[in-house]
Each structure stands twice: as structure tokens, then as C-alpha cells.
A = this chain, B = another copy of it.
Amino acid sequence: MSAHGAEAALARFFADGAGCASTPDHDALWAALRDAADGGKRVRPVLLTTVYEALGGNDDHVVAEVAAALELLHTAFVVHDDVIDADTVRRGRPNVSGTFAGQARRAGQPAARSARYGDAAGILAGDLALAGAIRTIALCGAAPATVRRLLDLLDRALHLSAAGELADVRLAVLGGRDIAETLVMEEHKTAVYSFELPLQLAAVLAAAADDCVEALGRFGCLLGVAYQLRDDLDGLFGDRARTGKSVESDLREGKFTPLMAYARATDAWPEIAPHVGAPALHEASADRVRGLLVACGARRFVEDLAADLSREALDAVAHLPVAPPLHDWVATVMAEAGSAA
């Protein structure tokens, strides 16, 4: 499973974009965006390409363009997400906003002004990546009726992703109540654009039948939530060396995940709650929270739910010829959940 074509299409995209303007601001912004798009595992391009080929698709150029568009979309979301979460580092290096904020800091500017410059760059770079994703699909070279369907799928994914991302922040800022609401948030925030969209784009590009498009969408939706649940678990219980993330960061940010929603309905919550969203959380307190999440059954509940959803996902596509490669792919992707994608 690979996506070499997508890599070449991304390289073309960044080479073309560099010629659009020749100011120091544009050069710096474009270089930072190219860095942000670099070094990912290309989960979405690989999924799209694999399923497209398994369904008999054989137009290498078109699938490479759409795969590149998916990676640009992911980059746009990551860059904007980092601005929203005030994160300045990704994969151990300064991200777009961190790069520009760092320049202002080194020029002697105070933190707030530096952050403003960094946020501006992050918002603008994300805008260029988002625009690039849509433009790349619009001009991918498929037949006009197919392009229209691809753009419709993309549009729906954008709306749901925005709703999911806003819900994620709302739950962290204003708090949440029940598990169902957090599961819808995770479906919209992650499952739709990372799983459902690549699968359905692949099926439409390969001219698959409507029921195949639908089954793949259902598979993507279920598996995507399972993936996000595993990612939540790894955010708290994962191996820091493997995930590359601080084990405390989800707690510090006050992320209200299904794990927390489950715990909220148990006797452990009064002791957990004060640590959720506490900016100065210590490692000892984080250890205590982890212990409580295990003791109250939240960890087990989420682990079981992720396993159930993965099985349900595979059931949804068991009747399709594309089931065997998806089976292998599920094993890989679930094992990697929690490490930077």
C-alpha cells in the first residue's frame, strides 16, 4: 500500500504555488505550509489509493490528484486546529504558528504580539491549504459529473468537520453532559474527513455501485470513531516515546472525550474533575487521574467500544470484494492510532 503518485502531485502543488507571488511574506508562508504538509504518514492518500485500486480503478493521474487533495485538507485542518488549541509544536518542531511567533519573539516582541503574528500565519497558511484541496479536486481531470459528486462529498465533510471541531472546543470550554454527544463530536471531527471521505471518494472515482459507496461510508464512519477512541486512550495511557505527545496535554487542554463523559457519571468524577483543563497539571496528579479512569471502568468501556466498532465496521463491508485489503489495513491503522498521523 503506497501513494507515490500523491507525493508527486503534492510536490507539483507546492512548486506551482511558489510561483504565485514573490514577496518575502509569501515565500515564508508557503515554506511553512510545505513543512507542515511534509513528514506525515499519508494515511488518507494510502487509504484512497488502496481502495480505488481494489475496486478496479486504474487512472493513476486522477487518483494521485485526489489523494494529494486529501493530504492538503488534512494539513489545513491540522494547521487551523493548532491555532485553535494554541499549540506551537508538532512532530517535535515548531508548527506554522510556532515558526512565525518564534520569529517575533526573537525580534524582542512580547508574547501576546508574537502569538498574534503566529496565529495570523497559521490561519492564512491553513486557508491556502484548504483552497488548494478544493481546487485540486475541481481540476483533478475526472469527468464533470464525477467531479461534481467528489465536490459534494468534500463539501459535506467540510461542514461536518467544522461542526465536530467546534463541538470539541465547546465541550472543553463549556463542558458536556453525556457520552452520545462526545461520540457524535468524534465522528464529525475525525471519522468523516479521515475515513468516510477517502473511502467514498475512492468508490465514486472507481465508478462503484451506490450500495458500495454507502457500505464504505458506514465502514469509515464506524472505524473512524474507533480510531479516535484509541487515540483518546493513547493520549492518556500511551507510550510518550511512540506517540510523540505529552501524556498530560489532553488533560491540560480539558478535552471532554467519551472517556471523560463515562467517568463523569461515576463516583470517581468529583476527584477527576478538578484536573481536567488544569493548565498547571503535575505528573503525579495525571497519574492519579489515570488510576481513577481505570478504577471507575472508563478505560475498559472505551477499549471495548473501540473494539466493537472496529468489528461492526468490518461487518459492514464483509460482502464487498474490497474486504480483504480493508481487513489488513484496519489492523495497521488501529495499531498506529495515537501516533502523529
Contact = CB atoms under 8 A, between A and B. Distances in A.
Interface of A: 17, 20-21, 23, 25-26, 28-30, 76, 80, 83-84, 86, 104, 107, 109, 113-114, 116-117, 119-121, 123-128, 130-131, 134-135, 138-139, 144, 147-148, 151, 154-156, 158-160, 162-167, 169-170, 173-174, 184, 188
29 contacts: A17-B159, A20-B159, A21-B159, A23-B163, A23-B167, A25-B164, A25-B170, A26-B159, A26-B163, A30-B159, A80-B124, A84-B116, A104-B173, A104-B174, A107-B174, A113-B173, A119-B119, A120-B166, A121-B166, A124-B166, A127-B127, A131-B155, A134-B134, A134-B135, A135-B138, A135-B154, A138-B138, A138-B151, A139-B148
B162 A29 contact: yes
A277 to B, nearest CB: 9
Contacts of A26: 159-160, 162-163, 166
A1 B165 CA distance: 41
A21 B125 CA distance: 26
Nearest to A173: B117
Contacts of A167: 23, 25
A174 B102 CA distance: 12
Contacts of A23: 163, 167, 184, 188
Query: When A and B form their complex, which 8 residue pairs have the shortest distance between CB atoms, in order from nearest?
Result: A20-B159, A26-B163, A138-B138, A124-B162, A120-B169, A134-B134, A25-B166, A25-B167
A86 B116 contact: yes
Contacts of A125: 162
B174 A120 contact: no
A294 B174 CA distance: 49
Contacts of A156: 20-21
Contact of A135 (B80, B127, B151): B151
A162 B128 contact: yes
Given A123-B84, A134-B138, A166-B120, A173 B25 contact: no
A169 B117 CA distance: 6
B162 A84 contact: no
A264 B173 CA distance: 44
